[in-house]
Structures are given as structure tokens and as C-alpha cells.
């Protein structure tokens, strides 16, 4: 269904360049980010009065494969059903056949992605780094135990987003995640299930891109180094997200969480 394209004004008088088929979401001409096949624009949810992200995937790379296009559409629609505080919320999905695009509306995090956030804020305590890592793992645990199982495939700090005012991180860029049936979930997750976590831990610790083994050698804290080594073990020896959440590495933050729980 094509999006409407009137020169509609939002409630503050700012011009939308496009609105979604329902008229709820309006897109501005402000580009928030761009990749090989996707662009992300600033947008506005007129119903809730909040800013959102308008994600646009150009389908010309897949034009010869309509089955794949339909699969992408179906899988992104599935993302709307995900309900976890460490996963970016997806509000709406539609195909624009006129423009040859797949569009989806997601929430916006206040501080951008974690890689840029760490470059901006170089001095972060190990305790804060552990909290971020734990939140990422809780998001991964949710995805991997979901039915059907969802495997991100491209987890890195550019795809993790930050609400810096509350110290919360969320996994995003799930548009091309792999969705597998329950019978194949265990096989699919083994080996790739947690490998991306090592890059995230490295990025979080150093605020720089991961490159093994040079990057691992830069880690001075033995506790962090041991934890990352667990994530890059041989495929069948790699722990799951659920296993890692029980690791002694998180003992300090687990105790803090329990002390903050009013029912604890």
C-alpha cells in the first residue's frame, strides 16, 4: 500500500514530506542514518505526540525475487509483536509498491547508537558497562527463546541504541534478522547465538571497533577479558545468552537489581 504524499503540516507547523497510509505517522526530510539498503528519517507519531524513526528499505536489490520481498515484509511484520524493554519497538510496517520500498516505524532512542555514545563519553565505570552488557543479553535471551526463534545476525554497537538519560540500551536494526522455526532453533543458534556479544563487549569497553585478536589484547581488565573469551569459544562451547546472564561477571549488577526491587 503506498504512503500518502500531501504537504501535510504537523501540529507545530513543520512540513511533512510524506505520511503513512493510515495518516498517523508523518516523515520529515531529516536523515538520521543510512546504510547499503536502508535509510532512516526523523518522523512524528501524531496520535501519541512523540518522535519516531521512519525506516525505508529500497527493494530494487530484490526486485527479481518477489518471494524474498514477501518474506521480508512478513518477517518485519513479526517484529511488531516483540514486547521486551531491551528491544526497539516497531509500531507499523507496510509495503509501498509505487516507490518499491518496505517501510517500518520504530521508536527513537534519545542518545543514538552505543558506538557513537561511547566515543562521546569515554570515561564509564565497569559497573555501567556491565549493566549495558546485561541489558543486551536480556534482549538476546528474549529473541532466542521467542517462538519462532529470532537471530539478529548483525549485532554490534551500531545496532544498539541508548536512552542516556536513564542508562538504558536497546537492540535495534532487526529488519533483516533471521527467523527460524522452533524445530531448527537450537541448531541455528548454536555457533552464532552469542558471538556478536564479544564485539559489543569490546566496543563497550574500549569505545572502538572490534578486531580480533588485536582488540582482545587491548583489554587490560582480566575479568572482562575472561568474559569475552567465553563469547568467542568454539561454536558448541559458546554459552547462550541465558547462560551468560548467570555468569559471575554480573554478580555486582544482579545484587544491585535485587536491592532496587521493592518486593525483594
Short-list 168, 146, 159, CA closest to 197: 159
Residue found under cell 522452533: 182
Check 154, 173, 203, 247 and give the catalytic one: 173
- Output 67-72 pairs: Cβ under 8 A, ≥24 positions apart: 69/95, 69/102, 72/102, 72/175, 72/176
Residues 6+ apart with CB under 8 A from 211: none
257: annotated active-site residue = no
Cell reading at 230? 567465553
User: Catalytic positions, please?
Assistant: 173
Amino acid at each position: 500500500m503506498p504512503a500518502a504524499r500531501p504537504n501535510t503540516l504537523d501540529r507545530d507547523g513543520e512540513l511533512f514530506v510524506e505520511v503513512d497510509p493510515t495518516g498517523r505517522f508523518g516523515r520529515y526530510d531529516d536523515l538520521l542514518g543510512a546504510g547499503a539498503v536502508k535509510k532512516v528519517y526523523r518522523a512524528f507519531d501524531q496520535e501519541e505526540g512523540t518522535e519516531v524513526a521512519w525506516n525505508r528499505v529500497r527493494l530494487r536489490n530484490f526486485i527479481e525475487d518477489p518471494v524474498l520481498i514477501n518474506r521480508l515484509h512478513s518477517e518485519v511484520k513479526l517484529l511488531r509483536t516483540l514486547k521486551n524493554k531491551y528491544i526497539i519497538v516497531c509500531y507499523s510496517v507496510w509495503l509501498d509498491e509505487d516507490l518499491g520500498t518496505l517501510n517500518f516505524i520504530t521508536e527513537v532512542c534519545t542518545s543514538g547508537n552505543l558506538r557513537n555514545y561511547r566515543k562521546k563519553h569515554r570515561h564509564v565505570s565497569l559497573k555501567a558497562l556491565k549493566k549495558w552488557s546485561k541489558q543486551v543479553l536480556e534482549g538476546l535471551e528474549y529473541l532466542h527463546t521467542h517462538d519462532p526463534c529470532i537471530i539478529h545476525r548483525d549485532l554490534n554497537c551500531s545496532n544498539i541504541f541508548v536512552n542516556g538519560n536513564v542508562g538504558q540500551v536497546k537492540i535495534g536494526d532487526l529488519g533483516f534478522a533471521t527467523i527460524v522455526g522452533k524445530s531448527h532453533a537450537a541448531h541455528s543458534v548454536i555457533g552464532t547465538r552469542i558471538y556478536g556479544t564479544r564485539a559489543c563487549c569490546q566496543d563497550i569497553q574500549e569505545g572502538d571497533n572490534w578486531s580480533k585478536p588485536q582488540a582482545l589484547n587491548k583489554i587490560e581488565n582480566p575479568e572482562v577479558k575472561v568474559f569475552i573469551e567465553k563469547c568467542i569459544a568454539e561454536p558448541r562451547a559458546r554459552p547462550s545468552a541465558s547462560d551468560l546472564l548467570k555468569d559471575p561477571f554480573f554478580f555486582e549488577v544482579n545484587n544491585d537489581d535485587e536491592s532496587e526491587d521493592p518486593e525483594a
